[in-house]
């Protein structure tokens, strides 16, 4: 796939994709003999990982560390596992915050919907 096709598929800008490669969020992408990026299945897997993790709020630095560890081989399985567990905890904490905010919103919406029917807004 070309960089344009990957960007369209994952809703990224070419600058973002190049940045991810430059800093190590995704490993170096395969290139044609003329030097044009040619995203193969393995490259796409890394792009999907980056998109998913960034959408979940995982810092770029953690993704860079994960890729470095992955490239170092199976001797880093424990370190990678620990890193992913840390990411999971961050995501769970963020989810708790969203769940709390959602509960408050649901309560307020419910009160306003009652007020629309009764003409009286109460917070009981």
DSSP calls for 16-30: HHHHHHHHTSSPPPP
pLDDT of residue 124: 83
- Look at phi and psi of residue 122 and say left if phi exceeds 0, alpha if psi is from -120 to 50, else beta: beta
* pTM of the complete model: 0.80
Domain ranges of the chain: 3-93
Is the distance from CB of 94 to CB of 62 less than 8 angstroms?
no
Q: CATH top-level class for 3-93?
A: mainly alpha
Does residue 119 surpass a pLDDT of 90? yes
Q: How many CB atoms lie within 10 A of CB 47?
A: 22
Summarised one tens digit per residue, pLDDT across range 7-66 is 999 999 999 999 999 999 999 999 999 999 999 999 999 999 999 999 988 999 999 999
């Amino acid at each position: 796939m070309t960089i344009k096709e990957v960007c369209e598929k994952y809703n990224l800008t070419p600058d973002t994709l190049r940045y991810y490669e430059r800093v190590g969020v995704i490993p170096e992408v395969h290139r044609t003999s003329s030097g044009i990026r040619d995203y193969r299945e393995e490259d796409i897997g890394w792009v999907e990982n980056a998109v998913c993790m960034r959408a979940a709020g995982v810092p770029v630095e953690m993704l860079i560390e994960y890729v470095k560890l992955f490239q170092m081989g199976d001797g880093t399985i424990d370190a990678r596992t620990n890193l992913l567990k840390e990411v999971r905890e961050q995501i769970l904490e963020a989810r708790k915050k969203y769940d709390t905010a959602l509960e408050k919103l649901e309560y307020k919406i419910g009160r306003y919907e009652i007020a629309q029917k009764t003409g009286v807004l109460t917070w009981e």
